[in-house]
């Protein structure tokens, strides 16, 4: 196959065909001088609400602040513990740390999601929240997690930064518990042109609290009724998101199509452990990432790199419990430790052409001598 260059994520091309429409939307915002808490943000919040079928959607500064504000609104703080998978972004643990609570890290399973069987043994008298990360565009088995939360009287707050549009049993990621959070970082499923995030909830109290917290405790009449901070989603980013939301479901279908191509092209290579294939079963996966495991990771990464295909290892190569500076422990998590010697992300985004994907597949097959 003819050589080509496949970047991991193509930032300059991320808008695809919607580039002109996005430029027009930005220009329109500038002409109106409408930058902070304006109608494009309200419109985006309404669209997100109806897309996810939830009662409240609040645009905030980014996905990390979304977690922070959701935790604060739920009253989580000093002395509380929050259970999460170690295979998550440091932001999940960081948000818990910054409200004064303690992240308790557990193992994941072969689908790379939090292993529900590891949650119950991690529960203590201080546990208040289970915080599943809906990783790589997949939603965890929320029946199992909800059963544990119910039994122990715990809240569920989902870090769905990587899972907008993903579903479990026809219910969207982010809508299962007290609150769900999203990130609109450019490389996320729904990316804006900078930082952005949102909190969604069906709980009126939580929705109201997050709305106050993101704007200095100011209510609709302009009165300061509580403490708060500045964590608003920029109106200009909301305008960009309004354009991008129009083609969002098509973008997700394209990601599932690429996942099918990878699945078909790579499934017979025994040394590779692939993510679950797109299915019509309980899980509707939208492939924020395509995370594989292979024992020859370093060699494969080098082989691909020599052929102009850029792959990366998620989180820079370390799950949260291995970040020594944070000193969270535990010292070992068997599945996570083993997989972090083997896991890597193949290019997965809507700028890839079928030829790009075929080139990645052909190159991996040639690495394994399959021609
Ligand atoms: C991206 C991400 C975040 C943080 O989102 P930002 O918008 O970058 O703050 C949190 N959790 C997970 C799992 C993420 O992938």
Q: What is the pLDDT of residues 289-303, one digit of tens each?
A: 999 999 999 999 999
Average pLDDT over every residue of 184-212: 98
Find all residues with CB under 8 Å of 232, minimum gap 6, and list them: 36, 37, 41, 59, 60, 61, 214, 215
Q: Is the pLDDT of residue 370 over 90?
A: no
Cis ω before 356 (30° cut-off from 0): no
Confidence of residue 93 (pLDDT cuts 50, 70, 90): very high
CA of 131 to the centre of ligand 1 (A): 13
**% of the chain beyond a pLDDT of 90:** 98
- Between CA 201 and CA 53 the distance in angstroms is 10
SS3 of the chain: helix, strand, coil, percent, to 5: 40, 15, 40
- Between CA 135 and CA 366 the distance in angstroms is 29
Q: Is the pLDDT of residue 58 over 80?
A: yes
Q: Is the pLDDT of residue 371 over 60?
A: no
- Between CA 212 and CA 230 the distance in angstroms is 10
Hey, which of 135, 162, 189 would you mutate to test ligand 1's pocket, going by the most ligand atoms within 8 Å of its Cβ? 162
Average pLDDT over every residue of 343-355: 98
Give the pLDDT of residue 329. 83
The ligand 1 site (C-beta within 6 Å) comprises 62-64, 88-89, 91-92, 133, 159, 161-162, 183, 185, 195, 197
- Between CA 352 and CA 10 the distance in angstroms is 9
- Between CA 212 and CA 226 the distance in angstroms is 7
Do the strands 127-130 and 171-172 form a parallel or antiparallel pair, or are they unpaired? unpaired
Average pLDDT over every residue of 297-326: 97
Beta strand extents in 151-206 (DSSP E only)? 155-159, 167-168, 171-172, 179-183, 197-201
In the block, residue with structure tokens 């997949």: 138
Q: Is the pLDDT of residue 173 over 70?
A: yes
Confidence of residue 3 (pLDDT cuts 50, 70, 90): confident
Q: What is the pLDDT of residues 209-255, one digit of tens each?
A: 999 999 999 999 999 999 999 999 999 999 999 999 999 999 999 99
Q: Which helix (H) or strand (E) covers residue 59, if one does? A: strand 56-60
Q: What is the pLDDT of residues 272-295, one digit of tens each?
A: 999 999 988 999 999 999 999 999
Polymer length of the chain: 371
Q: Is the pLDDT of residue 10 over 80?
A: yes
Hey, which of 161, 164, 319 would you mutate to test ligand 1's pocket, going by the most ligand atoms within 8 Å of its Cβ? 161
Query: CB–CB of 230/215 below 8 Å?
Result: yes
Q: Is the pLDDT of residue 356 over 70?
A: yes
Buried b (16+ CB within 10 A) or exposed e, 29-51: beeeebeebbebbebbbebbbeb
Hey, which of 70, 91, 158, 287 would you mutate to test ligand 1's pocket, going by the most ligand atoms within 8 Å of its Cβ? 91
Q: What is the pLDDT of residues 114-130, one digit of tens each?
A: 999 999 999 999 999 99
Give the pLDDT of residue 280. 81
Average pLDDT over every residue of 325-331: 92
Q: Please name which of 198, 165, 180 lies closest in space to residue 283, comparing C-alpha atoms.
A: 165
**% of the chain beyond a pLDDT of 70:** 100
């Amino acid at each position: 196959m003819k050589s080509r260059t496949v970047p991991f994520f193509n930032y300059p091309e991320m808008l695809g065909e919607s580039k002109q429409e996005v430029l027009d939307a930005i220009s329109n915002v500038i002409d109106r001088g409408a930058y902070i808490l304006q109608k494009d943000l309200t419109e985006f919040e309404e669209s997100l609400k109806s897309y996810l079928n939830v009662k409240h959607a609040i645009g905030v500064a980014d996905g990390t602040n979304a977690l922070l504000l959701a935790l604060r609104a739920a009253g989580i703080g000093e002395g509380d513990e929050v259970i999460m998978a170690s295979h998550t972004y440091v932001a999940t643990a960081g948000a818990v740390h910054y409200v004064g609570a303690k992240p308790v890290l557990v193992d994941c399973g072969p689908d790379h999601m939090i292993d529900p069987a590891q949650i119950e043994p991690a529960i203590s008298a201080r546990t208040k929240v289970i915080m599943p990360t809906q990783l790589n565009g997949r939603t965890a088995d929320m029946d199992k997690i909800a059963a544990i939360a119910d039994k122990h009287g715990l809240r569920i707050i989902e870090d769905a930064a990587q899972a907008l549009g993903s579903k479990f049993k026809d219910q969207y990621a982010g809508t299962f518990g007290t609150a769900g959070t999203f990130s609109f970082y450019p490389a996320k499923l729904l990316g804006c042109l900078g930082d952005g995030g949102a909190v969604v909830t069906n709980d009126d109290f939580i929705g109201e609290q997050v709305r106050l917290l993101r704007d200095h405790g100011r209510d609709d009449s302009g009165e300061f009724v509580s403490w708060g901070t500045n964590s608003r989603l920029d109106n200009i980013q909301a305008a960009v998101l309004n354009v991008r939301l129009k083609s969002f479901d098509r973008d997700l279908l394209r990601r599932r199509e690429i996942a099918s191509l990878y699945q078909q092209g790579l499934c017979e290579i025994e040394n590779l452990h692939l993510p679950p294939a797109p299915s019509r079963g309980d899980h509707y996966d939208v492939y924020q990432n395509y995370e594989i495991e292979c024992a020859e990771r370093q060699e494969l990464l080098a082989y691909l790199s020599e052929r102009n295909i850029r792959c990366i290892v998620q989180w820079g190569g370390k799950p949260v419990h291995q970040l020594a500076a944070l000193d969270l422990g535990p010292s070992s998590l068997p599945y996570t430790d083993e997989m972090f010697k083997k896991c890597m992300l193949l290019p997965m985004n809507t700028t890839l052409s079928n030829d790009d994907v075929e080139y990645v597949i052909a190159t991996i097959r040639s690495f394994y001598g399959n021609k």
